[in-house]
A and B are shown apart, each in its own frame.
Chain A
Amino acid sequence: MIIHHPLLGPRDAAEFVYLGDAALIDRPDWQAENAAEAFHAYGYLRDNPAGVHQELWYHEQGDRSWLVVTRNTVNHEISRVELARDVARARGRGR
């Protein structure tokens, strides 16, 4: 499988480490009323879609960047690769 890194171009999937659902970017507010429930969901509950899935990949044997890869779990087609940093900023993170 080839992952088209947004900065480095096509790279072999062997250079990457898979972490999981990109929803991990959205860490719940620990001071919220429902923090315990929110963290339970954050830590343990995952969708397992047959189809398009956004996931976090780490370019460990490369530039050490975190990527958000949009991949179809049925046919492994990768439709989008973004820097996790850009995704987090687009969701309103400061840094």
Chain B
Amino acid sequence: MAEYTLQAEPPLAGTKMEIAGVRLWAPADLALVSLALPLGREDAADRAIKSAYGVDLPEIGRSVLAEDDTRLIRLAPDLAFALFTHATPDAGRVVAQRLNDALYTTDQTDVWVALALSGPDARRALERICPIDLHPQVFGLGHAARTVMEHLGVLILRTGEDDYLLLSASSSAKSFLHAVEVSLHNIA
């Protein structure tokens, strides 16, 4: 019988371009794990985060970079995401162990896809498709928001002065890339 070797292929792997002076690429090996704070045990969950990552769980709509470059994103009173670079398909287990099971964790790596934008005009392209206010005085460094762009649910993060990270569903990855690409062409 023939020998098969299967290789993981993230939906937008290899995406890398520059349009209107803005770099657009799909970061490789990003892992995403959701963290749910158990009802009535929020304090223990906060302590577990602090001891595992050395930082406090941020406020809702904010993210924080931990010492090991894991980005903790707070989305709701009882929900956060941990976003980090991790090449092997065991991110969920790694995070759960690190947090001593003090939070409910779900590995979401394969259902999301990420696009990074970088450049002084990145915001000009994004504000055409993003309904929330991205003005630097409103959407500051580290801010995070779940919203919709061209009908697709998107989690947008401001990771630097002119740097953004967008996360959307992997099932509509190509439509998502198309929406961002078209918006970049429209400002070119």
The chain A residues found within 8 Å of chain B, CB to CB, are 7-12, 14-15, 61-65, 95
Find out whether the CB atom of B76 lies under 8 angstroms from the CB atom of A63: yes
Give the shortest distance, in Å, between B34 (CB) and chain A (any CB).
12
- Kindly identify which residue among B39, B61, B132, B147 contacts A7, using a CB–CB cutoff of 8 Å: B61
9 nearest A-B pairs in the assembled complex, by CB-CB distance: A12-B131, A63-B76, A61-B148, A7-B60, A62-B146, A61-B153, A63-B75, A15-B148, A8-B61
- Kindly identify which residue among B60, B133, B147 contacts A15, using a CB–CB cutoff of 8 Å: B147
Task: Tell me, in angstroms, the Cα distance from A91 to B133 when the chains sit together.
Answer: 35
Give the shortest distance, in Å, between B172 (CB) and chain A (any CB).
13
Task: Tell me, in angstroms, the Cα distance from A65 to B77 when the chains sit together.
Answer: 10
Task: Tell me, in angstroms, the Cα distance from A9 to B153 when the chains sit together.
Answer: 18
Contacts of A15 in B (CB 8 A): 131, 147-148
Task: Tell me, in angstroms, the Cα distance from A95 to B76 when the chains sit together.
Answer: 17
Q: Other CB < 8 Å A-B pairs besides A62-B147, A63-B76, A64-B76, 15 of them?
A: A7-B60, A7-B61, A7-B77, A9-B61, A10-B133, A11-B147, A14-B148, A15-B131, A61-B146, A61-B147, A61-B148, A61-B153, A62-B146, A63-B60, A65-B76
Task: Tell me, in angstroms, the Cα distance from A7 to B77 when the chains sit together.
Answer: 9
What are the interface flags for B25-63 relative to A under an 8 Å C-beta threshold, 1 for contact and 0 otherwise?
A: 000000000000001000000000000000000001100
Find out whether the CB atom of A7 lies under 8 angstroms from the CB atom of B76: yes
Task: Tell me, in angstroms, the Cα distance from A61 to B132 when the chains sit together.
Answer: 12
Task: Tell me, in angstroms, the Cα distance from A47 to B132 when the chains sit together.
Answer: 34
In the complex formed, the residue of B with least CB distance to A61 is B148
Give the shortest distance, in Å, between A83 (CB) and chain B (any CB).
8
Contacts of A12 in B (CB 8 A): 131-132, 147
- Kindly identify which residue among A14, A63, A64 contacts B131, using a CB–CB cutoff of 8 Å: A14
Can you give 10 A-B contacts (C-beta < 8 A)? A7-B60, A7-B61, A8-B61, A11-B132, A12-B131, A14-B131, A15-B131, A61-B148, A63-B75, A65-B76
